[in-house]
Every structure is written in C-alpha cells, then in structure tokens.
C-alpha cells in the first residue's frame, strides 16, 4: 500500500474530529474535507432562503432547492485554514454559529441532502491523499478507506469543549443549552434512517476524554504512517 491513503474520521459532536483531521492532513500534506461544514452550508442556505422558519423546515422546498446549492472549499494562505464556500461566498464564520448547530442534524437527516453531499464527497477521493471527518465517512462515504478512526469522549467533556469554543468566538450561550444541543444532535445522528452515526467494524476507537490535541495527533499519525508503509 506504499503511497497515499484515504483516512475517514467519524464520531460524536464536539469530539474534536475536525481539529484532528485538519492537523493530520497538514502533517501528511493531504487534502482535508470537512463534511460537517457541507451540511452546515445547506442548513445556512435553507435558513437564508426562508426554507427554515421557527426551527422547522419545508422538506419538499429544501429538496427542490438542492440543485441550486454548490459547496466548495478554499485554503486561505493567510490564515492557513480551510474555508467553506456556499455558491461562491465564504460562509465559514456563519456556519459555525449556534443557530446553525441547532438545526443541522434535522437537515442532514434528509435522504436527498445526504445523497447529494455523499456524491460530492466521494468525488474528492480520486487520487487518495485525503482526510475527511463526519458521521458516516467510514461506513458509507468511504467504506474502503485504509484508515478509519472513530472518536468519542465523555459527554460532559464534550459539552465543556463546545461551550469554551463558542464563548471564545464571542457567541452568547449557556452550558445548559450546549448540553441540550449535543444530546439532541447525538440522538438524531444515531437514530436517523439513512446512514446513522455508527462505528465501522474495522474502525479504531479514539477516546480523547483525557488526551491533548498533540497526543491525539501523534496517535493518528502513527497509525497513518504504519499503513503507508505496508
């Protein structure tokens, strides 16, 4: 297998999937795709177009709007970060807001949305050398990925991390709201009819409750380098 591989990282909300995936991609000089950002972008589009109102969305209207949605990624050389483009507009900051977080799981559970985005996600893997994180990457998007990692952590630790992240970005929220949002997202992600959040049989579990980002990266990088040499 000497050469580039595909790495799928799945797990619960606020487990640090994106943080690890980005760091791993940088260390390996691989392409990074944030699948969660894609679902957030669709959610933002629906919100802006009035498809979502008062926390509820028009299923048929959303499905009809899907052909009008394009999602791309741009690497900002100044910030050294990947940015999400929705129909050509940088929406990276907007899709990270708590309002989007509270609505993204119901939107991502829509079968037609998942079909569209999974097809797009698979198109990124033509030449390997890819790290993608999400909920069903190892089970559905890239079931033949050479390395699959399933991340988890204590719910209270996850809530604290998410709360600190939001506060640091200037958003106003409470720990009660964050806990409630994570619990709801876990339930929806794990029980949806189409490709729910599950651990792939050949995935390696990474419980990062007591691990630093550096320790997580070292763990994943070691796994990746071992596979690249086989």
pLDDT, one tens digit per residue, over 132-141 is: 999 999 999 9
Residues 76-92 have pLDDT tens digits of 778 777 889 999 999 99
At 128, the pLDDT band (50, 70, 90 cuts) reads: confident
Sketch out the chain's domains with CATH numbers: 6-228 (3.40.50.300)
Model's pTM, two decimal places? Answer: 0.80
H-type alpha helices, the chain = 17-28, 35-48, 59-65, 98-108, 111-123, 155-168, 175-191, 213-228
Write down the mean pLDDT value for the chain.
Answer: 91
What pairing do the DSSP bridges indicate for beta strands 31-34 and 52-53? unpaired
What pLDDT score was predicted for residue 2?
Answer: 60
Distance, in Å, from the CA atom of 90 to the CA atom of 72, rounded to the nearest integer, reads 9
* 228 confidence band (pLDDT: 50, 70, 90): confident
- Round to whole Å and give the CA distance between 90 and 160: 28
**Tens-place pLDDT, residues 1-52:** 567 899 999 999 899 998 999 999 999 989 888 888 999 999 999 999 999 9
Burial of 148 (0-12, 13-18, 19+ CB in 10 A): buried
- Residue labelled with tokens 């791993």: 24
Q: Is the pLDDT of residue 156 over 90?
A: yes
Tokens of 82: 């990947």
Q: Where are the beta strands (DSSP E) in 69-153?
A: 71-76, 81-86, 89-90, 130-134, 147-152
Structure tokens at 152: 């988890």
Do residues 99 and 57 lie in contact, with contact meaning Cβ atoms separated by under 8 Å?
no
């Amino acid at each position: 297998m000497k050469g580039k591989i595909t790495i799928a990282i799945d797990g619960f909300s606020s487990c640090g999937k994106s943080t690890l995936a980005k760091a791993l991609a940088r260390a390996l000089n691989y392409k990074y795709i944030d699948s969660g950002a894609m679902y957030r972008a669709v959610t933002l589009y629906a919100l802006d177009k009035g498809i979502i109102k008062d926390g509820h969305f028009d299923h048929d209207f959303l499905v009809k709007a899907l052909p009008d949605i394009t999602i791309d990624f741009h690497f900002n050389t100044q910030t050294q970060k990947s940015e999400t483009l929705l129909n050509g507009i940088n929406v990276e900051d907007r899709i990270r807001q708590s309002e989007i977080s509270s609505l993204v799981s119901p939107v991502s559970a829509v079968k037609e949305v998942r079909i569209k985005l999974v097809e797009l996600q698979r198109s990124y893997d033509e030449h390997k050398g890819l790290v993608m994180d999400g909920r069903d990457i190892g089970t559905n998007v890239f079931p033949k990925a050479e390395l699959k990692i399933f991340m988890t952590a204590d719910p209270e630790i996850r809530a604290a991390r998410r709360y600190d992240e939001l506060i640091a970005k200037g958003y106003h929220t409470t720990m009660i709201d964050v806990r409630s949002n994570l619990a709801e997202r876990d339930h929806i992600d794990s029980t949806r009819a189409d490709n729910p959040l599950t651990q792939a049989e050949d995935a390696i579990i990474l419980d990062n409750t007591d691990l630093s980002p550096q320790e997580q990266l070292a763990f994943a990088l070691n796994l990746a380098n071992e596979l690249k040499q086989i």
